Amino acid sequence: MATVIHEIERAIFQFDLADGIKCLSAYVIQGGVNEANDLLDFLTSSPTDPVRIPEERSELFGYVTLDLLSQRMGSAYCKICQKSYQANQLKPITIGHGKTPFSVKLKKKGGIRNLFSRKGKMPGMFGGKGYACPEGHELIARVTWRT
C-alpha cells in the first residue's frame, strides 16, 4: 500500500496515499484551492513509495494532516518521545480562540457605560486546532480561521 510521509519540526506523520489524495481532491472541488491542485498533481505523479512531502509544500499539507488525523487516519511519530502513535491515540488541542469562530466566548464588561459609548472596531481574533501526543507534546497546530 502506497504511503505519504509529512515531516515537520516536531513530528513525522504517515498516511495512506489514497486517503491523502481523497482529502486533497475535496480541497480542489469544494474550496477551489489552486495550491491543492498542484499538490494533488505532485502526489499522483510521484514515482516513489513512500511519497515525501517537500518542505515548500508542507504548509498546505499541514491542513490535510489535520483533516486526516481528525478522521482517525494515519500515524504520528513524536520526535520528543521518540515513539509512534496511531491517530486515535493523539489528543486534540485548540489554539487561539478555539476551533471555530462560533466557539468564541466574549466577555461583557462595562455595564451601562457600554450602552452609550462609541462602537469600536473588534480586535482581530484567530483560532485553530492541532494534535499532541499522549505525553502532551504538541505535534502539529494550524490557524484555521481569522477575523
Q: How many domains does the chain have?
A: 1
State the pLDDT at residue 80. Answer: 96
Structure confidence by residue, pLDDT tens digits, 101-139: 666 565 555 555 554 555 555 567 778 899 999 999 999
Looking at the whole model, is its pTM more than 0.85? no
State the pLDDT at residue 60. Answer: 87
State how far the alpha carbon of 105 is from the alpha carbons of 114, 115, 117, 142, in Å. Answer: 18, 20, 22, 20
Over residues 33-60, the mean pLDDT reads 87
State the pLDDT at residue 96. Answer: 74
Over residues 4-8, the mean pLDDT reads 96
Residue 75: domain span:
3-146
Give the strand pairing for 3-7 and 51-52. Answer: parallel
State the pLDDT at residue 124. Answer: 74
Structure confidence by residue, pLDDT tens digits, 72-111: 999 999 999 999 999 999 999 988 765 666 665 655 555 5
